[in-house]
Amino acid sequence: MTDFRDVAAENRFEQGFTDEEGELRRVWADYAREGDRRVILHVEAEPQLRGSGAAGDFMKRLADHARTHDLKLIPRCAYAVAWFRRHPEAADVISDL
């Protein structure tokens, strides 16, 4: 696993996870900026990570990152919306529109 990072030049959060074969694969979230808010447009995991829980771990780290950096998130991607519904403990990082 690699550290969670904000690739600001690409408007993307990303993190690496090891798949079943020991290969490093990525999960990422593309975003748009709105001041101190990030609109989460798309969350995706490489196919080799799907079903492994990596995307859920990534979303938890995304919420932690938002708290640490005083960011608010606006989930637009269906996966992000569903994840935040299942994790009300992360509601503090969701922005009011």
Cβ-based neighbours of 80, under 8 Å, separated by 6 or more: 29, 40, 43, 59, 73
pLDDT, tens digit (0-9, with 9 covering 90-100), for 21-65: 999 999 999 999 999 999 999 999 999 998 999 999 999 999 999
Q: Please state the length of the chain.
A: 97
pTM for the predicted model, two decimal places: 0.93
| Cα–Cα dist 33/92, whole Å | 18
